[in-house]
Amino acid sequence: MHGTNETETRRRLAALALGAIGVVYGDIGTSPLYTLQTTLSHDGMRPTPESIYGVLSLIFWAQIVVVSLKYVVFIMRADNKGEGGIMALMALAQRSVREQPKLRWVLAILGIFGASLFYGDGVITPAISVLSAVEGVKVAAPGLAHWVVPVTAVILFFLFAMQRHGTARVGNVFGPVMVVWFIVIALLGIHLIAKNPQVLWAINPMHGVRFFFTHGMQAFIALGGVVLALTGAEALYADMGHFGKRPIRLAWFSFVLPALVLNYFGQGALLLAHPEAIDNPFFKMVPQVLLYPMIGLACIATVIASQAVISGAFSMTREAMSLGYSMRMQVVHTSREMSGQIFVPWVNSFLLVMVLVAVFGFRSSDSLSAAYGIAVTGTMTITTMLALVVARHQWGWSRFAVIVAGVLLLTIDLSFLGANLIKVEYGGWFPLVLGLGVFVLMTTWRRGRELVVREIKQGGLALAPFIANISEHPPLRVPGTAVFLTANQNSVPHALLHNLKHNKVLHERNVMLTVDMLETPVADPGERIHITAMGNEFFGLELRFGFAEDPNIPLALSLCSSAGMPFDLMDTTFFLSRENIVADKRRPGMVLWRDKLFAFMARNAVPATAFFQIPGNRLIELGAQVEI
């Protein structure tokens, strides 16, 4: 029996590792398509033996230190109840410094900006990956080079058009296809290393050090290309909730890392013998007879890589909505089995437009590489900062240990970031502008909601005296339960006042409902429901949801019977005040243009009733004007 359980555990681990190879490692797995070509052909760099050994050494040790040690060993420890990703890490870091409001604010700003840069990554990853794969046509048939951009645009259009159907159907083939991809690129590498085995000396880190001494500023700029070998490292952490730590670590150390290293060193061996192959060393590794099949496999692999980033953008948007950093949008579930498989139409359309702008604007993977690095290194640096806060305040690391780890990791991250900031004028501005735009939207929405809640609280009547007055002068009571959604359980909801004023009636039971989104991905059963009796058949009900959950109020109410408050939904009416936001420059708060931006977002946000899945036939909405 024990042996059976052990076999079953191993099978499950292998299945999860296979899934991780398909979803998690698509981005970093397709990096060999463009990394070495970009790094060794920029800013006067030439593929001399010295520069080839130096760059290969930097790529190898970057994979070991940044991906293996930093992400796989250190960052993946910082899970928020099993969930990863920068929004989950920000919530975890904020929770660890609950008593320090100023530090919480700084962590929120860092986390939001890191998340904003992730959307830049979500635009550039599909563009550069698919472009680099289709560019293999230039090697196979140079006369067809002018078709590269249109074909790339068509592939990307269909990729985004497919999103509404979900990834469940094609997800099962992602793993096997990426396994084939990694085996093929490893075999290509082995084939060329066997012809030029001295390339393996590049494992010696002294080659990287010597490269800096001999090439100076050129070597520093080359770091901006080396970081392309690390793109997708954030996905290891972000997808931890889907697959778990062990399968991701197993797949990395036993399969993905060896395949990547072999391919990079194979390209290096090719360039040592044929420096002229620098215009596309990846596809020039491939025997002529296998070139077209390899281009097809590369296109499929890059679509899979793009899919992982797009799905990540959907998940991050849902988390941002739950944590109060994004306007409510329509979220479509594409799988009945997996709650994490979602489709956000607005985000999908935004990414498609921006990806096509990137493809037609930059027109080659080489040009796009300048834009790519900033989004990646910016998010990596912020992830390190947030993880160090967690290490100090959650894990109890000593100040000395945090300083040592911080100096080591941030020196590497900031070196990569600095090398990419040099490229701002050559395309690096693109993800920065994108990220800044998303950052303004997220912070404006957060601040706007705070101002609305403040106005509602200031303008509301105190609930306790109101209930006492109702007892002394009872109005007509009608059968059933009235549920009033409110942000403040100590004041009378506008909807309750309007109902009493215009209809002159009160329900038998009145529930003041507040929905609280937690800084954990899933609420524990014991903290989901909190009921407070207020007297005279008035109750306060607080429902708590994690940021990775879908807040379903009717379902949560059905669980209240175990807490002593049964609900019959056919006998329950939901009342909600729909705020009409008016920007007023005379009121303190945000500058007028941000007030107007917030009012526009509030008008176009999905109603709270749809977000909380309240049935329309049980709902009464009453308008309320709020000036900010």
pLDDT tens column, 379-410: 999 999 999 999 999 999 999 999 999 999 99
Confidence of residue 23 (pLDDT cuts 50, 70, 90): confident
Average the pLDDT over each of 313-317, 570-574, 576-580 and give the range with the smallest value.
576-580
- Mean pLDDT, residues 196-200: 95
* Cα distance between residue 563 and residue 561, in whole Å: 5
* Cα distance between residue 114 and residue 433, in whole Å: 13
* Cα distance between residue 286 and residue 32, in whole Å: 13
Confidence of residue 579 (pLDDT cuts 50, 70, 90): confident
Query: Is residue 63 scored above 90 in pLDDT?
Result: yes
Confidence of residue 170 (pLDDT cuts 50, 70, 90): low
Query: Is residue 1 scored above 70 in pLDDT?
Result: no
Tell me if 458 sits within 8 A of 628, measured CB to CB: no
Query: Is residue 457 scored above 90 in pLDDT?
Result: no
Query: Is residue 622 scored above 80 in pLDDT?
Result: no
Which residue type does 36 have? L
Contacts of residue 314, Cβ cutoff 8 Å, sequence gap at least 6:
342, 343, 344, 347, 348
Q: What's residue 16's pLDDT?
A: 83
Q: What's residue 337's pLDDT?
A: 54
pLDDT tens column, 342-355: 889 999 999 999 99
Confidence of residue 543 (pLDDT cuts 50, 70, 90): very high
Average pLDDT of the chain, as a whole number: 89
Q: What's residue 5's pLDDT?
A: 72
Give me 543's structure tokens. Answer: 């429902």
* Cα distance between residue 541 and residue 515, in whole Å: 9
pLDDT tens column, 211-243: 999 988 889 999 989 999 998 888 788 888 778
Which residue type does 213 have? F
Query: Is residue 341 scored above 80 in pLDDT?
Result: no
Contacts of residue 300, Cβ cutoff 8 Å, sequence gap at least 6:
177, 181
Give CA 514 to chain center in angstroms.
28
Tell me if 393 sits within 8 A of 97, measured CB to CB: yes
Average the pLDDT over each of 32-36, 108-112, 457-461 and give the range with the smallest value.
457-461
Query: Is residue 168 scored above 60 in pLDDT?
Result: no
Q: What's residue 62's pLDDT?
A: 96
Tell me if 258 sits within 8 A of 186, measured CB to CB: yes
Task: Report in angstroms the alpha-carbon separations of 627 from 445, 446, 598.
Answer: 15, 16, 12
Range with the largest mean pLDDT of 17-21, 41-45, 597-601: 597-601
- Mean pLDDT, residues 607-612: 85
Q: What's residue 348's pLDDT?
A: 93
Q: What's residue 338's pLDDT?
A: 56
Query: Is residue 13 scored above 90 in pLDDT?
Result: no
Query: Is residue 202 scored above 90 in pLDDT?
Result: yes
Q: Where are the alpha helices (DSSP H) in 460-564?
A: 463-472, 494-503, 553-558
Contacts of residue 160, Cβ cutoff 8 Å, sequence gap at least 6:
310, 348, 351, 352, 355
Q: What's residue 541's pLDDT?
A: 94
Query: Is residue 293 scored above 60 in pLDDT?
Result: yes
Q: Which long-range contacts (CB under 8 A, 24 or more apart) does 190-196 make?
A: 190/262, 190/266, 191/266, 191/285, 192/266, 192/267, 192/269, 192/270, 192/285, 193/262, 193/265, 193/266, 193/269, 195/269, 195/273, 196/269, 196/270, 196/272, 196/273
Tell me if 557 sits within 8 A of 597, measured CB to CB: no
Beta strands in 202-306 (DSSP E): none
Q: What's residue 121's pLDDT?
A: 84
Query: What is the percent of the chain with per-residue pLDDT over 70, rounded to a whole number?
Result: 97
Contacts of residue 68, Cβ cutoff 8 Å, sequence gap at least 6:
252, 253, 257
Give CA 124 to chain center in angstroms.
14
Query: Is residue 284 scored above 70 in pLDDT?
Result: yes
Confidence of residue 503 (pLDDT cuts 50, 70, 90): confident
Confidence of residue 56 (pLDDT cuts 50, 70, 90): very high
* Cα distance between residue 170 and residue 167, in whole Å: 5
Average the pLDDT over each of 124-133, 151-160, 577-586 and give the range with the smallest value.
577-586
Contacts of residue 378, Cβ cutoff 8 Å, sequence gap at least 6:
113, 114, 117, 417, 431, 435
Closest CA relative to residue 357, chosen from 123, 155, 161: 123
Query: Is residue 43 scored above 90 in pLDDT?
Result: no
Confidence of residue 110 (pLDDT cuts 50, 70, 90): very high
Query: Is residue 363 scored above 60 in pLDDT?
Result: yes
Q: Helix (H, G, I), strand (E, B), or coil: what is residue 607?
A: coil
Confidence of residue 538 (pLDDT cuts 50, 70, 90): very high
